[in-house]
């Protein structure tokens, strides 16, 4: 099996002249003030850039939910992206979003990133 590091697709060779595309699997772990909530199933994305985009969209949805509820809950402060081996690849950190509705202007107050 041949594999490449980084943001590139990996290919596994099973028979001469034929290759099967292996799409990398990324895991999106949520970090709150008290805990790390692990993603046990992961999801496939063509590369780390696509995984980062997904994490940014997830973070935006979390901020909008917190703002829509008018305050803070035990919301994640960041999403930590790892590969299948558990290697840390990228942290997407979010603190606050634009004011939505009657909630506070900064629904998630800054906290220490672990």
For residue range 37-54, what is the model confidence (pLDDT) as tens digits?
Answer: 999 999 999 999 999 999
Do the domain assignments include residue 16?
A: no
pLDDT given at position 66: 77
pLDDT at 74: 67
Tell me, yes or no, whether 12 lies in a domain. no
Residue 10 lies in a domain: no
Q: Give the model's pLDDT for residue 22.
A: 78
The model's pTM: 0.65
Give the pLDDT score at 12: 46
Find the domain containing 46 and state its range: 24-114
Nearest 5 degrees, angle CA 99-CA 113-CA 58? Answer: 50
17, part of any domain: no
- Distance from chain centroid for Cα 78: 8
Residue 27's pLDDT is what? 97
In tens, the pLDDT along 83-112 reads 999 999 999 987 655 555 665 555 445 444
44 alpha-carbon distance from chain centroid: 12
| Residue 86 falls inside a structural domain | yes
Provide the domain count of the chain.
Answer: 1
The answer to whether position 88 is within a domain reads: yes
Residue 77 is assigned to a structural domain of this protein: yes
In a domain, 3, yes or no: no
């Amino acid at each position: 099996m041949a594999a490449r590091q980084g943001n590139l697709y990996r290919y596994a060779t099973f028979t001469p002249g034929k290759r099967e595309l292996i799409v990398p699997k990324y895991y999106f772990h949520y970090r709150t003030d008290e805990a790390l909530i692990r993603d046990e199933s992961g999801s496939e994305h063509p590369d780390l850039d696509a995984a980062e985009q997904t994490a940014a969209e997830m973070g935006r949805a979390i901020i909008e939910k917190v703002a829509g509820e008018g305050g803070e809950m035990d919301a994640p402060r960041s999403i930590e992206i790892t590969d299948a081996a558990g290697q840390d690849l990228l942290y997407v950190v979010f603190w606050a979003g634009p004011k939505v509705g009657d909630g506070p202007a900064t629904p998630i107050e800054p906290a220490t990133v672990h």
